[in-house]
């Protein structure tokens, strides 16, 4: 299928553990210059894009990538993806999607976003097919989570430079998108399954702490007010990874 967006895996400290290359075809890697040789050794035949070692953290890495790709037409995806899945599969039907088809789905979703005038797009934020609601296959006003999301050129979107936003770049960009562009495009029919999320050494795990999460949530509330809410424990979602987990409420 015609390439609408470049699919890039931002990675750090996981040269020998990039799972996503086996889940999605035609991907590139974006890593620090000092880690280029190690990533090339473990990931032959994959394009390696390097950035200065002074760019530390996923948010600043994505900010650099936006400049590198002239403001968009890029889909970034975590490096710990085991597979893409079809959440609307019938009982007994395989839900796993091949790497080539995953690539095509990402490109077709980008094309749909482009044709409807949306600049931000993504897929289900859940990793549980049981969360899929058949009557709501698409949404236009939720968070496009940072683990798998795309931005098209021509938007007013950017990633924050403020260090307090280091862990909340997806909420910042989604809030910014709601303010400037009103809607995004999320295809809930498909989602990605990760391995050892929040436990895998390297990546954001190198600097994520509860105190940083708290600072980030408070900072996001400074930017977007009551649109940023602290999650409450509810039936079916009893376990929060930390007490400052947040949600974005777009009031329209």
**What length does the chain have?**
252
Please report the domains of the chain, with CATH numbers, ordered by start residue: 6-213 (3.90.550.10)
Q: Determine the pLDDT at residue 92.
A: 82
**What are 176-220's pLDDT values in tens digits?**
999 999 999 999 999 999 986 545 555 455 556 888 999 999 999
pLDDT of residue 251: 86
CB-count burial class (<10 Å; 0-12, 13-18, 19+) for 126: middle
pLDDT tens-digit series, residues 214-227? 999 999 999 999 99
Beta bridge partners of 191: 85
- The C-alpha atoms of residue 88 and residue 97 are separated, in whole angstroms, by 12
Q: How far is CA 97 from CA 65, 109, 113, 122, in A?
A: 27, 15, 21, 16
Residue 12, both tokens? 């750090």
The reported pLDDT for the residue numbered 49 is 98
Its pTM stands at 0.90
Dihedrals phi, psi of 237, to nearest 5 degrees: -135, 60
Nearest to 183, CA basis, from 227, 237, 120? 120
């Amino acid at each position: 299928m015609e390439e609408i967006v470049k699919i890039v895996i931002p990675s750090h400290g996981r040269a020998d553990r990039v799972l996503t290359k086996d889940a999605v075809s035609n991907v590139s890697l974006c890593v620090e210059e000092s880690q280029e040789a190690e990533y090339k050794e473990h990931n032959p035949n994959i394009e390696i894009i390097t950035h200065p070692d002074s760019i530390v953290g996923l948010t600043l890495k994505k900010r650099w990538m936006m400049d590198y790709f002239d403001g968009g037409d890029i889909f970034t995806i975590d490096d710990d993806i085991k597979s893409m899945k079809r959440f609307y599969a019938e009982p007994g039907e395989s839900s796993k999607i091949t790497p080539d088809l995953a690539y095509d789905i990402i490109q077709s979703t980008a094309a749909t976003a482009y044709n409807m005038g949306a600049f931000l797009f993504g897929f289900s934020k859940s990793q549980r097919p049981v969360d899929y609601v058949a009557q709501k296959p698409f949404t236009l006003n939720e968070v496009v989570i940072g683990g798998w999301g795309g931005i098209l050129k021509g938007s007013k979107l950017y990633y924050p430079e403020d260090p307090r936003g280091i862990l909340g770049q997806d909420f910042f960009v989604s809030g910014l998108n709601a303010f400037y562009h009103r809607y995004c495009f999320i295809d809930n029919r498909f989602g990605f399954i990760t391995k050892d999320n929040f436990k895998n050494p390297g990546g954001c795990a190198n600097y994520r702490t509860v105190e940083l999460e708290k600072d980030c949530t408070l900072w996001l509330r400074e930017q977007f007010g009551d649109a940023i809410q602290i999650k409450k424990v509810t039936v079916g979602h009893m376990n929060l990874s930390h007490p400052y987990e947040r949600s974005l409420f777009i009031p329209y």
